[in-house]
Amino acid sequence: MPIFPLIPTCWQSWTRPGYCWRIRLRRRFRAERIAVNQPALHDCQRWLLTAMMASGGLDQGLALARLQCGADETLVAQPPRGERRDRIGIYHHGYWMRLLECLRADYPMLRKLLGGPMFDWLARGYLAAQPSRTPSLHDLGCRFADFLAATQPDPESLACQLPVALARLERALAEVGRAQGLESKAPAAEHDWLTALAGGHPLAGLRMPDSVRLLQAALPVHEYWRSLQEMEEAPATPARQDCWLTVSRVQWRVQVHAVTAWQYRLLQSLGAGSGGDEAMRLAAESAALPPRALLAQICLWLPSAQQLGLLCREG
């Protein structure tokens, strides 16, 4: 039995030559008209971003996209099952869950203190009030502590101050971990401060590196942070105690240390670009001592400050 090859054709063209080509032309013209009526790719992307990034939910996002872009959800192909808005909702939900995951990763101990539902509620409020403006997710939570401070019900209560202080500490830890450090620089000599003192001033040529953050709190938040890491449940709120903290990185290890008021003021002044004399004067005011009386304490503390990565030489 002979086998005939299958030739793609239109059965109506056997009796009406050219009929099949007319059908194809009509289909092509119809597709071209549909393509002309479709918005440009940039407009489609803008519409989807508007619907996806709205902080008030999917309904608000679709309303904003309709108002700003002049299009509705008919831009999305109808799925075999369900509605078009269900497809858009997948992107909307995934976008906001990704932002929440980033904040959870940056503030693990704060989430442990507040609890998952409360943290997520505050995080959603923060993202709605302070939407992301930079392409890097590392900058997403940079204003979270300020948001908590502005929305706390009782600023004088230690129970309200604790989450704010803990958020500032965890943000400092994240920033120090990503900052330009001193790992590529040679370690300071053991008697480096003596050489500087012989030149006229122990603080000459010293600066605070980029991998240092300074924090001031009304309670020992660094001790509470360590307790949170070790305990399964959040401990009680600590008593009021003024603390001056430094967050630094040495050989890729981030460390938190408590310093005195004059040491904090000295580091703060050097970090702001003040000279050695001005920094010493401000530190002496914090310690209620004359600058010459504080000079000996500074000389004794400088080697430790350099070992902790709080100070380094220029160049």
Write out pLDDT tens, residues 95-116.
889 999 999 999 999 999 999 9
In Å, how far from its chain's centre is CA 92? 20
Q: Taking residues 2-20, what's their average pLDDT?
A: 52
Over residues 139-156, the pLDDT tens digits come to: 999 999 999 999 998 989
pLDDT value at residue 43: 72
List the end-to-end C-alpha distance of the chain, in Å, as a whole number: 92
Q: Domains along the chain?
A: 41-151 (no CATH), 182-313 (3.90.930)
79 vs 16 pLDDT, higher one? 79
Please provide the average confidence, as pLDDT, over all residues in the chain.
83
Q: Say whether pLDDT at 176 is over 90.
A: yes
Most confident of 47-61, 250-264, 282-296: 250-264
Q: Locate 46 and state its tokens.
A: 């803008």
Q: Say whether pLDDT at 299 is over 60.
A: yes
23 vs 227 pLDDT, higher one? 227
pLDDT value at residue 94: 86
pLDDT value at residue 177: 94
Q: Taking residues 246-267, what's their average pLDDT?
A: 95
Q: Say whether pLDDT at 175 is over 50.
A: yes
Helices (H), 107-157: 108-114, 116-129, 144-151
Q: Taking residues 202-231, what's their average pLDDT?
A: 93
Beta bridge partners of residue 253, listed in sequence order: 250
Q: Locate 224 and state its tokens.
A: 């509470």
pLDDT value at residue 184: 84
pTM metric for this prediction: 0.79
Query: What is d(CA 41, CA 45) in angstroms, rounded to the nearest whole number?
Result: 6
pLDDT value at residue 5: 52
Residue 150 CB partners (closer than 8 Å, separation 6+): none
pLDDT value at residue 128: 87
Q: Say whether pLDDT at 13 is over 80.
A: no
Backbone angles phi, psi at 293, to 5 degrees: -70, -30
